[in-house]
Structure formats: C-alpha cells, structure tokens
Copies of this chain bind each other. A is one copy, B any other.
Amino acid sequence: MLIHKIESDIHLHPTALCESECVGRGTRVWAFAHVMADAEVGRDCNICGHVFIESGAQVGSRVTIKNNVSIWNGVTLEDDVFVGPGVIFTNDKYPRSPRSAAAIGRYEHVENWLAMTIVRKGATLGAGAIVLPGITVGRYAMIAAGAVITHDVPDFAMMVGNPAQMRGWACMCGRPMGDARACCHCRRKYVDVDGHLEVDQADRA
C-alpha cells in the first residue's frame, strides 16, 4: 500500500487493498475492493465495495465504479464515466482456460488474445450491462441496465436489450432527448457535426 507516498488525500477503507502507486487525490476505495499494482486511477473517483481493478487498467478522473465490477487489463474508462453495479467487461474474444491443452499456445503472448475496450468521457453503463471485447462506447452514451453491448456505440446513444439496440439519444444530464435533439429537462440542444452529435455551440454561448 504505497499509495500514501504520492497522494495524501485518498480514502482507503481498512479492508481495501490498493497496491497501485497511481491513484489520484480525493479518490475513495471501499470495503473489500482491490486495486492492483500498475492500475491507473485518476482523481476524485469512487471505487465501491468488492471492485477489482487489474494491472494495466486505466481509469480517468471523477469516475464512479459501483459494487462488484472488475476492470481488466485492456479496459480504459475516460473521465466522468459511471459504471453501474454488476457491469461486466471482457477482454478476450475466444476465451478458453489458458492452461488447457487446446488453448495454451494462444495465451503465451498477450497480443494474441487481448482486445481493448474504451468507454469515452461521461458515458453511463447501466447496472448489469455487459460489454463485449474490443468495443468503444461513445461520449455520454447511456447504456440501459441489462444491455449486452456487441458493437461500438455512438456518442450520446441510448442502448437497450440483449443484444443491445439503439433506442434514441441521451443528454449529458442523463435524460432522453426528444426528436428535436434537445433535452426537455436541462434545455441543452445538440447538432450533428460530421456524423457525430455535439452540444450546440450557439446554445453554449
């Protein structure tokens, strides 16, 4: 637990294990959670109970990871991401037990099997969602509880079901957008810029 050497303002529950030296100030790690060495976690994160963060995982700042989630090597969570309870990440497209005779060769080199996942800034992964290997989830996307994500997800897209399908758009504030690409709740408006949804610059001004 070398974390205190670099950042003095971390809340570590007495039963939490934090072996990484790269955890930012203001981050809290709760009961029975385990952050391995060489995992990177930014500032002001909330790492909840029974979470596991593997060596090689990268977590930005102000990220919330609710209970019972594992963040593997190969997974990157950008700033402000919300990971609901029981969300499941993956990092291998053709998993077999690595010590079995049928598969042992494939696991000799990490590049043979490791598929990368990126969750972009501000996205929400709802409770119990599953993200297949090699996927990018766009900025502020809203993944519904129980969705199984099998393809890349556009910025601000709302995804529902198993397999997940797009059901509309979500605002930065979390509410669904109407057909006019505007939020009835917070009044933000959005425009299409080169095929990507963005907050309307006029609206920002």
- State the majority secondary structure of interface residues on A: loop
Q: How many copies does the complex hold?
A: 3
Closest to A52 in B: B49
Contacts of A44 in B (CB 8 A): 99
Q: Is the CB of A100 within 8 A of B62?
A: yes
Among B84, B97, B126, the residue within 8 A (CB) of A80 is B97
> Roughly how many angstroms separate A59 CA and B85 CA in the complex, as a whole number?
19
A-B pairs, 9 with minimum CB distance: A94-B174, A80-B100, A146-B148, A102-B172, A62-B99, A82-B97, A64-B97, A86-B88, A67-B70
Q: Is the CB of B34 within 8 A of A17?
A: no
Contacts of A130 in B (CB 8 A): 86, 127-128, 145-146
> Roughly how many angstroms separate A95 CA and B94 CA in the complex, as a whole number?
32
Closest to A63 in B: B97
Which has the most chain B C-beta neighbours within 10 Å: A44, A89, A98, A148? A148
